[in-house]
A and B are shown apart, each in its own frame.
Chain A
């Protein structure tokens, strides 16, 4: 009984991880594109990216999730709740990731661009070989925070009927009559996932840190 109980929730854990692993990179891709457009695009492109960010960050994620879900699983596009939910979460996250990345790009500073252009690199080469490698390092700590937010926000697709951890816990609590145990197990799993994510990204930040002490 206990092993059934656990394996049922563990299947939900797989769904939670899958939703996160779709939403996070999808949000990163769009967020990075928007951050680059915001920092290096012409005035109108930059302004549009800024407005996108303001709108997306001004509305609760669950509200956006519902709007996007009904668009992505509507008549024009018809995705499953799993895909519509994951991609919607990714879009929500893209605005926050854009803010992180554009801050990091700005923090690298205009001087690096000048120096890169001065040896004859093109603008795109300068962004690719000089600005981005530095910006990404700067972005890792705030980005790991966003990663655990997306992991936690993946619980919102519960509302779309996707069988992730919370949905499983609810079904279990109904079938076993042990709600405290069911939700307690779910909480424990979330806690471990968030903890492991943070640890992994701390490790990544440590690994990519540039040396400052003479060797």
Chain B
């Protein structure tokens, strides 16, 4: 125990810099994923033929294959087509694309739940189709999606760990380096696990807190979590 504590304290600055990278990747992936997810969700529900098919293919492909597979495709596969990206770019793109596919389905679920009635009501007062989508449907759909969506940041944070396999210097990569240095893999990965644990539950608490702040009357019944 004291050996573990010593290791933990000795490498804490190193681990924390890795944790910083982990949080950065999470934030980037979440943001990119939101934009992609919104586009794909709109495409799948309201898009024309091309936009719709591209959205469906994107969502199904990225949800139907492992994240690590996607990371390797971008990192090792794309250079075969003459496109070479830095490992940080690959991590950012893979996490954003992957998260986007999941976020698209959360959003699509709530867009469908809003229903045709709201579209009819919007069109009836003379709004165009897209004006109705942006001013009537999306504001409701996004609020409705919050409870399910609130799991995504934590889920993505946990997903970021796989990018150590292309040597992006995040928390897991730091733990691996420490393991090589100390010959104590279990202690090193436990130290990383401890920091992940703290980050995951802090983020979870933050999401629950903001969720309770975002509740508006009529939408609270959906506020259940998986």
Contact = CB atoms under 8 A, between A and B. Distances in A.
B186 A180 contact: no
B186 A155 contact: no
Q: Which of B69, B160, B172 has the most CB of A within 10 A?
A: B69
Contacts of B79: 179
Contact of B158 (A60, A74, A183): A60
A120 interface: no
Interface stretch (B117-125, B139-147, B190-198, B210-218): B190-198
Contact of A194 (B64, B70, B158, B193): B64
A79 to B, nearest CB: 15
Interface residues of A, number: 40
A58 interface: yes
A67 B193 contact: yes
Interface string A116-136: 000000000000000000000
Contacts of A99: 226
A58 B189 contact: no
A62 B189 CA distance: 10
Interface string A182-204: 11101100110011000000000
A191 B73 CA distance: 14
Contacts of B160: 60
Interface in B57-75: 60-61, 64-70, 72-73
Interface of B: 60-61, 64-70, 72-73, 76-81, 157-162, 164-165, 172, 175, 185-186, 189-190, 192-193, 196-197, 200-201, 226
Interface of A: 54-55, 58-64, 66-67, 70-71, 74, 99, 142, 152-156, 158-159, 166, 169-170, 173, 178-184, 186-187, 190-191, 194-195
16 contacts: A60-B172, A60-B196, A63-B192, A63-B196, A67-B193, A153-B66, A154-B66, A155-B68, A158-B68, A173-B76, A173-B77, A180-B81, A183-B73, A183-B77, A186-B69, A194-B65
Which 4 A/B pairs are nearest by Cβ-Cβ distance?
Answer: A180-B80, A60-B161, A183-B77, A152-B66
Given A62-B164, A179-B77, 12 more contacts: A66-B185, A67-B186, A67-B189, A67-B190, A159-B165, A170-B72, A179-B76, A181-B80, A183-B72, A183-B77, A191-B60, A194-B65
